A and B are shown apart, each in its own frame.
Chain A
Amino acid sequence: MYRYDKYDQAMVDTRVEEFRDQVRRRLEGKLDDDQFKPLRLKNGLYLQLHAYMLRVAIPYGTLNSAQMRALGAIARKYDRGYGHFTTRQNIQYNWIKLAEAPDLFADLAKVEMHAIQTSGESIRNISSDQYAGAAADELIDPRPWCEMLRQMTTFMPEFSYLPRKFKIAVIASAEDRAALRWHDFALRIVQNASGEIGFEVYAGGGMGRTPFIAYRIREFLPTSQLFSYLQAVLRVWNRHARRDNIHKQRMKILVHDLGQEEFTRQVEEAFEHFLSLAEDFPQAEYDRIAAYFAPPPFEQGLSDEIDLSDPAFAAWVDRQVIAHKAPGYAIANISLKPVGGIPGDISADQMDVVADLAERYSFDELRATHAQNLVLPHVRKADLHAVWQALVEAGLADANLDLVSDIIACPGLDYCSLANARSIPVAQKIAERFADPARQADVGELKIKISGCINACGHHHAGNIGILGVDRKGSESYQLLLGGSGDEVTTQAKIAGPGFDEDGIVDAVERAVEQYRTIREPGERFIDTYRRVGMDGFKEAIYG
């Protein structure tokens, strides 16, 4: 993975000291809240329901064991012993004290991490495939391009005061594991007829109150022109954005106002201009970055056999383990969704366990997924049993990847000051309702996603079953949505009908699932059945 050079380290260290000074002045009363708020947000420090909340960036979801251990140590030292992995492959802490934040940032900087551009109108952490560099189906490792983009867009003045936040994703496989078309700007690495590597480009996606699925705006962009192209996109947005109306500032609004054709035309025009400046990086720079992502030294001649005589282990392998590109290796998913637990939460002790496993069995590498789980990307098949045993001991061995209890949920009203309703208790009740592993296995792949308000941090628009918390005359209420997806066939979920209270929504989800079981055809997942029969095929079963 990428390692900071002396410039990266100097920039981050300088930023820590700058923030230390800003905090000092705030504590001395020399800065008021209005003056200080933009400064803390530039460093990912929010004020939430119970305390300051810190969002730390995990670039494209990749981290090493020293970083995971540091995240655990921070949870213990500055927070209350746990952290929360988010749908954008970041981690959040809920109980940070302002006076201690500068020391926390110094600790992060020691392991080459920070919280810059995790808030505000900037280019946020770039997301990617959690199996990057390991997946059997990828064309190349997309992470060097993520890192190139990260370097291009960090501290870049034109991108520091954008009209609104800007989210980028990069993948390199046909299967989309990163919800590509729900991003403002997204790249899929492809190969053209003459064997050249380039990007298929998407723009204008996003969730929030006005959800849009990104359009494809270019079939093939040569990799050497990426910077010019991204600048062109941002220039068009910067030029026309509705800075007068916070609800219309996201690029998705502009793209869909102008339409695919006109937006593309303007981007191509600006692109010509940027190309003429000849500011794109040389190939040598890509080669330098890509060298950091050279595959680890996989052993040759390993067996692909896994001893599955232990049924509990076999069930875990069946659900959590994914094909790796190197013979004898596997990708192991770690569930952060124990039935009755809080989706994405992990204790400091568990972080240590996971860090140890990565160090010992996965070439020191870990990944955070947008579904709020973790991944050991490079495990020898022969080591899977030992990994599983350690996970069992740490309470991390649930076998529910992509099943009904693998629920994405935002923090909701338990933690978030923008929330209308709690998300976590709903996730817990649904998981408990379907706790029986045989029942979950029978239902099969089903992605439930819950947001506590219209901002859609819990991806409800992309849920096969989505749940949205709303405020109904001062009490919590929940809308049910069906038919969303964030994979290569991206669709937006539709509202099924009137809302429910907390227990009512759990019953409604169960009725939808039972209806699917009644009408499914052989081999159909929930989403396939929904696509075949539409909302009409479910409505009566849900509402009677």
Chain B
Amino acid sequence: MRILTGNDLKTGAVTWWTGYDWSIHVEDAVDAGDQADAILAREAAACRVNNPYAIDGEKAPDGSVRPAHIKDRIRALGPTVRPDLTLKPADPDARNWVI
């Protein structure tokens, strides 16, 4: 699947395309399929997100979205060396999702 990501213009936070808006939670990401390029062009012009681009994603057995490359999984969660600063500070298994 193709999922769309970028960094929020104001905060720089990593964001994911949900089908109608941007979310900081990768769980909300949807498959943009063959619409990816059209959405990216429209969103780049809207200046809400910096440099949006498409990446490969996969659906985990539980149905959740997982970016295919480790770099995007670190983007989705936060630095592996500072679990306290990630989106899931209380989840001891979050790191396993990344690596």
Chain A residues engaging chain B, CB cutoff 8 angstroms: 26-27, 29, 32-33, 47, 49-52, 80, 94-99, 342, 413-415, 417, 419, 422, 424-425, 428, 474-476
Contact = CB atoms under 8 A, between A and B. Distances in A.
Nearest to A427: B81
Given A29-B46, A99-B10, 14 more contacts: A26-B9, A27-B9, A49-B74, A50-B78, A51-B7, A52-B12, A94-B79, A98-B10, A413-B74, A414-B80, A414-B81, A414-B82, A474-B69, A475-B70
Interface in B37-61: 44-47, 50-51
Interface of B: 7, 9-14, 44-47, 50-51, 68-71, 74-75, 78-82, 85
5 contacts: A27-B10, A47-B12, A50-B78, A97-B12, A342-B81
A99 B11 CA distance: 7
User: Taking each of B45, B46, B78, B81, which has the highest tally of chain A beta carbons within 10 Å of its own beta carbon?
Assistant: B81
Contacts of B51: 33, 47
Nearest to B12: A51
B68 to A, nearest CB: 8
Nearest to B79: A414
Given A33-B50, A49-B74, A474-B69, A80 B85 contact: yes
List the 5 closest pairs (A to B, CB-CB), nearest first.
A51-B12, A29-B47, A414-B79, A52-B12, A424-B81
B32 to A, nearest CB: 20
Contacts of A51: 7, 11-13
Contacts of B70: 413, 474-476
Nearest to A97: B11
Contacts of B50: 33, 47
A158 to B, nearest CB: 31
A80 B82 CA distance: 11
B75 A33 contact: no
A474 B75 CA distance: 15
A507 to B, nearest CB: 18
A93 to B, nearest CB: 11
Given A49-B71, A49-B75, A98 B9 contact: yes
A27 B45 CA distance: 13
A414 B85 CA distance: 12
A422 B12 contact: no
A98 B12 contact: yes
Contacts of A52: 7, 12
A104 to B, nearest CB: 13
Contacts of A33: 44, 47, 50-51
Contacts of A95: 12, 85
A97 B51 CA distance: 16
A51 B11 CA distance: 7
User: Taking each of B9, B10, B69, B71, which has the highest tally of chain A beta carbons within 10 Å of its own beta carbon?
Assistant: B71
B52 to A, nearest CB: 9
User: Taking each of A96, A98, A425, which has the highest tally of chain B beta carbons within 10 Å of its own beta carbon?
Assistant: A98
B81 A97 contact: no
A525 to B, nearest CB: 29
A413 B77 CA distance: 12
A92 B59 CA distance: 36
Contacts of B82: 342, 414
A93 B46 CA distance: 28
A130 B81 CA distance: 28
Given A49-B74, A98-B12, A425 B47 contact: no
A51 B7 CA distance: 7
A351 B13 CA distance: 26
User: Taking each of B12, B47, B70, B85, which has the highest tally of chain A beta carbons within 10 Å of its own beta carbon?
Assistant: B12
A464 to B, nearest CB: 24
Contacts of A32: 44-45, 47
User: Taking each of B11, B13, B79, which has the highest tally of chain A beta carbons within 10 Å of its own beta carbon?
Assistant: B79
B75 A98 contact: no
A414 B74 contact: yes
A302 B66 CA distance: 65
B6 to A, nearest CB: 10
B73 to A, nearest CB: 10
A260 B65 CA distance: 55
Contacts of B9: 26-27, 98
B10 A415 contact: no
B13 A50 contact: yes
A97 B74 contact: no
Contacts of B10: 27, 97-99
B71 A413 contact: yes
A98 B11 contact: yes
A476 B74 CA distance: 13
A80 to B, nearest CB: 6
Nearest to A36: B50
B41 to A, nearest CB: 12
Nearest to A46: B12
A206 B57 CA distance: 38
A384 B86 CA distance: 39
